[in-house]
Structure 1
Protein backbone atom coordinates (compact mmCIF):
# COMPACT_ATOMS: atom_id res chain seq x y z
CA UNK A 1 0.00 0.00 0.00
CA UNK A 2 1.38 3.38 -0.98
CA UNK A 3 1.23 5.73 2.01
CA UNK A 4 3.08 8.63 0.34
CA UNK A 5 -0.02 10.82 -0.01
CA UNK A 6 -1.06 10.26 3.61
CA UNK A 7 2.48 11.08 4.80
CA UNK A 8 2.53 14.29 2.75
CA UNK A 9 -0.83 15.33 4.18
CA UNK A 10 0.29 14.72 7.76
CA UNK A 11 3.50 16.67 7.29
CA UNK A 12 1.62 19.50 5.57
CA UNK A 13 -0.76 19.77 8.54
CA UNK A 14 2.17 19.90 10.96
CA UNK A 15 3.86 22.65 8.93
CA UNK A 16 0.60 24.58 8.73
CA UNK A 17 0.21 24.41 12.52
CA UNK A 18 3.73 25.84 12.80
CA UNK A 19 2.79 28.74 10.58
CA UNK A 20 4.97 27.57 7.70
CA UNK A 21 4.09 26.85 4.05
CA UNK A 22 2.66 23.38 3.56
CA UNK A 23 5.55 22.43 1.26
CA UNK A 24 9.26 22.92 2.08
CA UNK A 25 10.86 25.96 0.48
CA UNK A 26 14.05 25.82 -1.58
CA UNK A 27 15.90 27.46 1.31
CA UNK A 28 14.73 24.77 3.72
CA UNK A 29 15.79 22.01 1.36
CA UNK A 30 19.21 23.62 0.90
CA UNK A 31 19.65 23.91 4.67
CA UNK A 32 18.65 20.28 5.17
CA UNK A 33 21.03 19.07 2.47
CA UNK A 34 23.84 21.09 4.02
CA UNK A 35 23.15 19.65 7.49
CA UNK A 36 23.18 16.09 6.17
CA UNK A 37 26.41 16.68 4.26
CA UNK A 38 28.18 18.15 7.30
CA UNK A 39 27.03 15.48 9.80
CA UNK A 40 27.49 17.83 12.76
CA UNK A 41 28.25 16.06 16.03
CA UNK A 42 26.17 16.67 19.12
CA UNK A 43 27.41 16.89 22.72
CA UNK A 44 29.67 13.98 23.70
CA UNK A 45 31.21 12.86 26.98
CA UNK A 46 34.98 12.79 27.36
CA UNK A 47 36.22 9.67 25.61
CA UNK A 48 39.58 7.93 25.21
CA UNK A 49 41.63 8.90 22.19
CA UNK A 50 44.94 7.02 22.18
CA UNK A 51 45.09 3.42 20.88
CA UNK A 52 45.98 2.06 24.32
CA UNK A 53 43.11 3.93 25.98
CA UNK A 54 40.63 2.80 23.32
CA UNK A 55 41.54 -0.87 23.79
CA UNK A 56 41.36 -0.56 27.58
CA UNK A 57 37.95 1.16 27.53
CA UNK A 58 36.57 -1.28 24.96
CA UNK A 59 37.72 -4.24 27.06
CA UNK A 60 36.14 -2.78 30.19
CA UNK A 61 32.80 -2.12 28.51
CA UNK A 62 32.59 -5.51 26.79
CA UNK A 63 33.22 -7.29 30.07
CA UNK A 64 30.45 -5.24 31.68
CA UNK A 65 28.15 -6.66 29.00
CA UNK A 66 29.03 -10.27 29.99
CA UNK A 67 31.31 -10.66 26.98
CA UNK A 68 34.57 -12.49 27.53
CA UNK A 69 37.75 -11.00 26.08
CA UNK A 70 41.16 -12.32 25.08
CA UNK A 71 44.06 -10.83 23.14
CA UNK A 72 46.22 -12.25 20.35
CA UNK A 73 49.29 -10.77 18.70
CA UNK A 74 48.38 -11.38 15.05
CA UNK A 75 45.34 -12.20 12.94
CA UNK A 76 46.78 -15.62 12.13
CA UNK A 77 46.66 -16.45 15.85
CA UNK A 78 42.87 -16.12 15.85
CA UNK A 79 42.09 -19.78 14.98
CA UNK A 80 44.26 -21.08 17.83
CA UNK A 81 42.53 -18.73 20.28
CA UNK A 82 39.13 -19.86 18.98
CA UNK A 83 40.15 -23.49 19.51
CA UNK A 84 41.37 -22.76 23.04
CA UNK A 85 38.12 -20.97 23.92
CA UNK A 86 35.86 -23.69 22.52
CA UNK A 87 37.82 -26.43 24.27
CA UNK A 88 37.67 -24.56 27.58
CA UNK A 89 33.87 -24.77 27.45
CA UNK A 90 33.72 -28.24 25.88
CA UNK A 91 31.98 -26.80 22.81
CA UNK A 92 33.65 -29.06 20.25
CA UNK A 93 35.56 -28.00 17.16
CA UNK A 94 32.79 -27.32 14.62
CA UNK A 95 31.93 -23.76 13.60
CA UNK A 96 30.76 -21.59 10.74
CA UNK A 97 32.65 -18.44 9.82
CA UNK A 98 32.37 -15.48 7.52
CA UNK A 99 33.65 -16.33 4.04
CA UNK A 100 35.89 -13.25 4.34
CA UNK A 101 37.87 -15.13 7.01
CA UNK A 102 38.66 -18.04 4.70
CA UNK A 103 42.40 -17.33 4.53
CA UNK A 104 42.98 -18.02 8.23
CA UNK A 105 44.51 -21.40 9.26
CA UNK A 106 41.41 -22.95 10.81
CA UNK A 107 42.28 -26.59 10.03
CA UNK A 108 45.83 -26.22 11.33
CA UNK A 109 44.36 -25.02 14.63
CA UNK A 110 42.24 -28.18 14.91
CA UNK A 111 38.92 -26.61 13.94
CA UNK A 112 36.37 -27.77 11.37
CA UNK A 113 35.17 -24.41 10.07
CA UNK A 114 32.63 -24.04 7.27
CA UNK A 115 32.73 -20.72 5.41
CA UNK A 116 29.05 -19.94 4.89
CA UNK A 117 25.90 -18.53 6.44
CA UNK A 118 24.87 -20.39 9.61
CA UNK A 119 21.95 -22.80 9.68
CA UNK A 120 19.69 -23.63 12.61
CA UNK A 121 21.91 -26.54 13.68
CA UNK A 122 25.12 -24.47 13.80
CA UNK A 123 26.08 -23.69 17.38
CA UNK A 124 29.22 -21.57 16.90
CA UNK A 125 29.59 -18.59 14.59
CA UNK A 126 32.86 -16.76 13.96
CA UNK A 127 32.90 -13.24 12.53
CA UNK A 128 35.13 -10.25 12.18
CA UNK A 129 33.79 -6.72 12.52
CA UNK A 130 33.89 -3.49 10.55
CA UNK A 131 34.93 -1.66 13.69
CA UNK A 132 34.18 -1.55 17.41
CA UNK A 133 33.23 1.26 19.77
CA UNK A 134 35.05 1.82 23.04
CA UNK A 135 32.29 3.87 24.67
CA UNK A 136 29.76 1.03 24.69
CA UNK A 137 31.84 -2.09 24.03
CA UNK A 138 29.88 -2.70 20.83
CA UNK A 139 30.82 -4.44 17.60
CA UNK A 140 29.76 -2.80 14.32
CA UNK A 141 29.03 -5.45 11.69
CA UNK A 142 28.18 -4.60 8.07
CA UNK A 143 26.34 -7.16 5.98
CA UNK A 144 27.70 -8.30 2.63
CA UNK A 145 28.44 -11.41 0.53
CA UNK A 146 31.48 -12.27 2.65
CA UNK A 147 30.08 -10.96 5.94
CA UNK A 148 26.53 -12.31 6.43
CA UNK A 149 24.64 -10.69 9.29
CA UNK A 150 23.30 -14.04 10.52
CA UNK A 151 26.82 -15.13 11.51
CA UNK A 152 26.53 -13.03 14.67
CA UNK A 153 22.83 -13.58 15.32
CA UNK A 154 21.88 -17.23 14.82
CA UNK A 155 24.48 -19.46 16.57
CA UNK A 156 24.38 -19.85 20.35
CA UNK A 157 28.04 -18.85 20.62
CA UNK A 158 29.45 -15.85 18.78
CA UNK A 159 33.22 -15.45 18.46
CA UNK A 160 34.31 -12.07 17.09
CA UNK A 161 37.72 -10.98 15.83
CA UNK A 162 38.40 -7.32 16.61
CA UNK A 163 41.55 -5.65 15.19
CA UNK A 164 42.85 -3.17 17.76
CA UNK A 165 43.30 -0.55 15.02
CA UNK A 166 39.56 -0.69 14.27
CA UNK A 167 38.43 0.32 17.76
CA UNK A 168 37.00 3.85 17.66
CA UNK A 169 35.75 6.04 20.46
CA UNK A 170 31.98 6.10 19.85
CA UNK A 171 29.11 5.33 17.48
CA UNK A 172 29.51 8.71 15.77
CA UNK A 173 33.06 7.72 14.85
CA UNK A 174 31.87 4.35 13.60
CA UNK A 175 29.37 5.95 11.21
CA UNK A 176 31.97 8.49 10.08
CA UNK A 177 34.30 5.60 9.26
CA UNK A 178 31.53 3.86 7.32
CA UNK A 179 30.89 6.97 5.24
CA UNK A 180 34.60 7.49 4.62
CA UNK A 181 35.36 3.90 3.60
CA UNK A 182 32.08 2.66 2.15
CA UNK A 183 30.22 5.74 0.97
CA UNK A 184 26.80 4.10 1.10
CA UNK A 185 25.72 1.92 3.99
CA UNK A 186 25.01 -1.76 3.29
CA UNK A 187 21.61 -3.35 3.64
CA UNK A 188 22.18 -4.14 7.34
CA UNK A 189 24.31 -2.47 10.00
CA UNK A 190 24.27 -4.31 13.32
CA UNK A 191 25.73 -3.08 16.59
CA UNK A 192 26.30 -6.11 18.81
CA UNK A 193 26.61 -5.30 22.50
CA UNK A 194 27.21 -8.54 24.35
CA UNK A 195 25.04 -11.67 24.46
CA UNK A 196 21.37 -11.42 23.60
CA UNK A 197 19.30 -10.72 26.68
CA UNK A 198 15.76 -9.95 27.78
CA UNK A 199 14.03 -9.05 31.02
CA UNK A 200 10.45 -9.48 29.80
CA UNK A 201 9.55 -12.20 32.30
CA UNK A 202 9.37 -10.86 35.86
CA UNK A 203 12.22 -8.46 35.02
CA UNK A 204 14.69 -11.33 35.31
CA UNK A 205 17.57 -11.07 32.83
CA UNK A 206 17.84 -14.11 30.59
CA UNK A 207 20.74 -14.52 28.17
CA UNK A 208 20.37 -16.00 24.70
CA UNK A 209 16.67 -15.27 24.30
CA UNK A 210 16.88 -13.73 20.82
CA UNK A 211 20.44 -14.46 19.74
CA UNK A 212 23.78 -15.74 21.03
CA UNK A 213 23.93 -17.07 24.57
CA UNK A 214 27.59 -16.12 24.84
CA UNK A 215 29.95 -13.72 23.04
CA UNK A 216 33.73 -14.06 23.06
CA UNK A 217 35.91 -11.31 21.59
CA UNK A 218 39.58 -11.47 20.88
CA UNK A 219 41.43 -8.28 20.19
CA UNK A 220 44.18 -8.54 17.59
CA UNK A 221 47.00 -6.29 18.70
CA UNK A 222 48.87 -6.45 15.41
CA UNK A 223 45.93 -5.63 13.16
Structure 2
Protein backbone atom coordinates (compact mmCIF):
# COMPACT_ATOMS: atom_id res chain seq x y z
CA UNK A 1 0.00 0.00 0.00
CA UNK A 2 1.36 3.39 -1.01
CA UNK A 3 0.86 5.89 1.81
CA UNK A 4 2.67 8.78 0.13
CA UNK A 5 -0.55 10.71 -0.63
CA UNK A 6 -1.84 10.25 2.92
CA UNK A 7 1.48 11.47 4.32
CA UNK A 8 1.41 14.57 2.13
CA UNK A 9 -2.15 15.34 3.19
CA UNK A 10 -1.21 15.06 6.88
CA UNK A 11 1.81 17.32 6.43
CA UNK A 12 -0.29 19.78 4.41
CA UNK A 13 -2.79 20.06 7.29
CA UNK A 14 0.04 20.66 9.75
CA UNK A 15 1.49 23.38 7.55
CA UNK A 16 -1.97 24.96 7.12
CA UNK A 17 -2.34 25.12 10.91
CA UNK A 18 0.98 26.98 10.98
CA UNK A 19 -0.24 29.44 8.37
CA UNK A 20 2.00 28.10 5.63
CA UNK A 21 1.37 26.81 2.12
CA UNK A 22 0.65 23.11 1.67
CA UNK A 23 3.98 22.48 -0.09
CA UNK A 24 7.35 23.94 0.98
CA UNK A 25 8.45 26.91 -1.10
CA UNK A 26 11.78 26.89 -2.92
CA UNK A 27 13.15 29.34 -0.35
CA UNK A 28 12.34 26.89 2.48
CA UNK A 29 14.13 24.06 0.70
CA UNK A 30 17.12 26.30 0.04
CA UNK A 31 17.25 27.28 3.71
CA UNK A 32 17.28 23.63 4.76
CA UNK A 33 20.02 22.79 2.26
CA UNK A 34 22.06 25.75 3.49
CA UNK A 35 21.66 24.65 7.11
CA UNK A 36 22.75 21.10 6.32
CA UNK A 37 25.78 22.36 4.40
CA UNK A 38 26.88 24.65 7.25
CA UNK A 39 25.97 22.45 10.20
CA UNK A 40 29.15 20.94 11.68
CA UNK A 41 29.33 17.18 12.09
CA UNK A 42 30.05 15.67 15.47
CA UNK A 43 33.23 13.73 16.22
CA UNK A 44 33.62 10.54 14.21
CA UNK A 45 36.07 7.64 14.38
CA UNK A 46 38.78 7.47 11.72
CA UNK A 47 37.95 5.28 8.75
CA UNK A 48 40.37 3.14 6.72
CA UNK A 49 40.88 3.61 3.00
CA UNK A 50 39.45 0.15 2.33
CA UNK A 51 35.76 0.63 3.07
CA UNK A 52 34.86 -2.79 1.68
CA UNK A 53 37.06 -4.61 4.19
CA UNK A 54 35.74 -2.44 7.02
CA UNK A 55 32.12 -3.12 6.04
CA UNK A 56 32.73 -6.87 5.96
CA UNK A 57 34.49 -6.81 9.33
CA UNK A 58 31.75 -4.81 11.04
CA UNK A 59 28.91 -6.76 9.39
CA UNK A 60 30.35 -10.05 10.63
CA UNK A 61 30.54 -8.66 14.15
CA UNK A 62 26.77 -8.20 13.94
CA UNK A 63 26.21 -11.83 12.87
CA UNK A 64 25.75 -10.92 9.20
CA UNK A 65 27.44 -13.54 7.05
CA UNK A 66 29.26 -12.19 4.01
CA UNK A 67 30.45 -13.55 0.68
CA UNK A 68 32.31 -11.54 -1.93
CA UNK A 69 31.90 -12.05 -5.68
CA UNK A 70 33.40 -10.19 -8.61
CA UNK A 71 30.32 -9.57 -10.78
CA UNK A 72 26.54 -9.36 -10.52
CA UNK A 73 26.24 -12.42 -12.74
CA UNK A 74 27.78 -14.47 -9.90
CA UNK A 75 25.13 -13.47 -7.36
CA UNK A 76 22.53 -16.19 -8.06
CA UNK A 77 25.13 -18.96 -7.68
CA UNK A 78 26.37 -17.36 -4.45
CA UNK A 79 22.82 -17.20 -3.10
CA UNK A 80 22.21 -20.85 -4.03
CA UNK A 81 25.49 -21.81 -2.34
CA UNK A 82 24.55 -20.03 0.87
CA UNK A 83 21.05 -21.53 1.02
CA UNK A 84 22.21 -25.09 0.42
CA UNK A 85 25.03 -24.75 2.97
CA UNK A 86 22.47 -23.59 5.53
CA UNK A 87 20.03 -26.37 4.65
CA UNK A 88 17.44 -23.82 3.54
CA UNK A 89 14.96 -24.05 0.66
CA UNK A 90 16.09 -22.71 -2.69
CA UNK A 91 12.82 -20.84 -3.21
CA UNK A 92 12.69 -17.11 -2.56
CA UNK A 93 10.88 -13.86 -3.21
CA UNK A 94 12.84 -10.85 -4.43
CA UNK A 95 12.68 -7.23 -5.47
CA UNK A 96 11.40 -6.68 -9.01
CA UNK A 97 14.63 -4.80 -9.79
CA UNK A 98 16.49 -8.13 -9.63
CA UNK A 99 14.52 -9.95 -12.35
CA UNK A 100 17.31 -9.87 -14.94
CA UNK A 101 19.75 -12.02 -12.94
CA UNK A 102 20.02 -15.71 -13.82
CA UNK A 103 18.27 -17.21 -10.83
CA UNK A 104 16.76 -20.23 -12.57
CA UNK A 105 20.07 -21.18 -14.19
CA UNK A 106 21.63 -21.19 -10.71
CA UNK A 107 18.98 -23.59 -9.42
CA UNK A 108 16.81 -21.07 -7.60
CA UNK A 109 13.07 -20.53 -7.89
CA UNK A 110 12.49 -16.82 -7.37
CA UNK A 111 9.21 -14.89 -7.47
CA UNK A 112 9.36 -11.13 -7.79
CA UNK A 113 6.63 -10.00 -5.41
CA UNK A 114 6.01 -8.94 -1.84
CA UNK A 115 6.44 -11.74 0.73
CA UNK A 116 3.69 -13.75 2.35
CA UNK A 117 3.77 -15.43 5.75
CA UNK A 118 4.92 -18.72 4.23
CA UNK A 119 7.96 -17.24 2.43
CA UNK A 120 11.23 -18.21 4.10
CA UNK A 121 13.81 -16.35 1.98
CA UNK A 122 13.78 -12.74 0.79
CA UNK A 123 16.37 -11.33 -1.63
CA UNK A 124 16.97 -7.59 -1.92
CA UNK A 125 19.52 -5.15 -3.17
CA UNK A 126 20.39 -2.11 -1.11
CA UNK A 127 20.57 1.62 -1.71
CA UNK A 128 23.98 1.72 -0.05
CA UNK A 129 25.82 0.28 2.95
CA UNK A 130 27.86 1.90 5.71
CA UNK A 131 31.36 0.68 6.50
CA UNK A 132 31.48 2.22 9.97
CA UNK A 133 28.77 -0.07 11.36
CA UNK A 134 28.37 -2.84 8.75
CA UNK A 135 24.85 -1.63 8.05
CA UNK A 136 22.63 -2.10 4.99
CA UNK A 137 20.53 0.90 3.91
CA UNK A 138 17.30 -0.02 2.12
CA UNK A 139 14.84 2.45 0.61
CA UNK A 140 11.25 1.40 0.02
CA UNK A 141 9.55 1.82 -3.33
CA UNK A 142 7.06 0.15 -5.70
CA UNK A 143 9.73 -2.37 -6.81
CA UNK A 144 11.91 -2.34 -3.67
CA UNK A 145 9.37 -3.26 -1.00
CA UNK A 146 10.64 -3.03 2.58
CA UNK A 147 8.83 -6.23 3.59
CA UNK A 148 11.19 -8.35 1.44
CA UNK A 149 13.95 -7.81 3.99
CA UNK A 150 11.74 -7.85 7.08
CA UNK A 151 9.17 -10.66 6.85
CA UNK A 152 11.10 -13.75 5.62
CA UNK A 153 13.27 -15.60 8.16
CA UNK A 154 16.32 -15.28 5.90
CA UNK A 155 17.36 -12.03 4.22
CA UNK A 156 19.94 -12.10 1.42
CA UNK A 157 21.13 -8.63 0.40
CA UNK A 158 23.16 -7.73 -2.68
CA UNK A 159 25.70 -5.01 -1.86
CA UNK A 160 27.48 -3.26 -4.77
CA UNK A 161 30.97 -2.38 -3.53
CA UNK A 162 30.71 1.06 -5.16
CA UNK A 163 27.75 1.82 -2.85
CA UNK A 164 29.64 1.24 0.40
CA UNK A 165 30.09 4.62 2.08
CA UNK A 166 31.88 5.59 5.27
CA UNK A 167 28.98 6.23 7.65
CA UNK A 168 25.36 7.19 8.16
CA UNK A 169 26.13 10.82 7.36
CA UNK A 170 27.30 9.89 3.86
CA UNK A 171 24.30 7.59 3.44
CA UNK A 172 21.86 10.44 4.11
CA UNK A 173 23.89 12.77 1.86
CA UNK A 174 23.55 10.18 -0.91
CA UNK A 175 19.79 9.89 -0.40
CA UNK A 176 19.37 13.67 -0.60
CA UNK A 177 21.58 14.05 -3.68
CA UNK A 178 20.04 11.14 -5.63
CA UNK A 179 16.43 11.10 -4.43
CA UNK A 180 15.81 14.68 -3.32
CA UNK A 181 13.61 13.58 -0.42
CA UNK A 182 13.22 10.57 1.82
CA UNK A 183 10.99 7.73 0.60
CA UNK A 184 8.17 6.28 2.69
CA UNK A 185 10.56 4.00 4.58
CA UNK A 186 14.32 4.02 5.12
CA UNK A 187 15.55 0.86 6.85
CA UNK A 188 19.00 0.54 8.41
CA UNK A 189 19.68 -3.20 8.79
CA UNK A 190 22.50 -4.08 11.16
CA UNK A 191 22.51 -7.87 11.30
CA UNK A 192 19.65 -10.23 12.17
CA UNK A 193 16.76 -8.97 14.26
CA UNK A 194 17.47 -9.44 17.96
CA UNK A 195 16.29 -8.62 21.46
CA UNK A 196 17.69 -9.05 24.94
CA UNK A 197 14.58 -8.06 26.88
CA UNK A 198 14.16 -11.39 28.68
CA UNK A 199 16.88 -11.98 31.29
CA UNK A 200 19.31 -10.09 29.03
CA UNK A 201 19.58 -13.17 26.82
CA UNK A 202 20.05 -12.32 23.14
CA UNK A 203 17.38 -13.91 20.93
CA UNK A 204 17.72 -13.66 17.15
CA UNK A 205 14.73 -13.26 14.85
CA UNK A 206 12.56 -11.54 17.43
CA UNK A 207 11.12 -8.88 15.12
CA UNK A 208 12.53 -9.81 11.73
CA UNK A 209 14.96 -12.19 10.00
CA UNK A 210 16.91 -14.85 11.90
CA UNK A 211 19.66 -14.62 9.30
CA UNK A 212 21.16 -11.82 7.20
CA UNK A 213 23.58 -12.70 4.42
CA UNK A 214 25.34 -10.00 2.37
CA UNK A 215 26.75 -10.71 -1.07
CA UNK A 216 29.30 -7.97 -1.81
CA UNK A 217 29.82 -7.41 -5.55
CA UNK A 218 33.23 -5.89 -6.17
CA UNK A 219 32.53 -5.10 -9.83
CA UNK A 220 29.28 -3.23 -9.19
TM-score, length basis structure 1? 0.83
Pairwise CA distance, 1:46: 3.5
CA shift in 2, pair 1:219/1:43, >3 Å: same
Runs of 4+ in 1 over 3 A off after TM superposition: 29-37
Task: Write out aligned runs for 1:1-223 (5 A).
Answer: 33=32, 35-38=34-37, 40-48=39-47, 50=49, 53-223=50-220
Larger Rg: 1
State the alpha-carbon separation in 2 of the partners of residues 200 and 157 from structure 1: 22
Pairwise CA distance, 1:43: 2.0
Question: Matched residue pairs, number?
Answer: 200
Please, which runs of 5 or more residues in structure 1 have no aligned partner? 9-28
Pairwise CA distance, 1:38: 2.2
Kept in 2: contact 1:47–1:135 (CA 8 A): no
Pairwise CA distance, 1:34: 6.2
Pairwise CA distance, 1:49: 5.5
Pairwise CA distance, 1:76: 1.0
Please, which runs of 5 or more residues in structure 2 have no aligned partner? 1-9, 19-27
State the alpha-carbon separation in 1 of the partners of residues 58 and 210 from structure 2: 18
Pairwise CA distance, 1:90: 1.1
CA shift in 2, pair 1:90/1:130, >3 Å: same
1:14 maps to which residue? none
CA shift in 2, pair 1:102/1:46, >3 Å: same
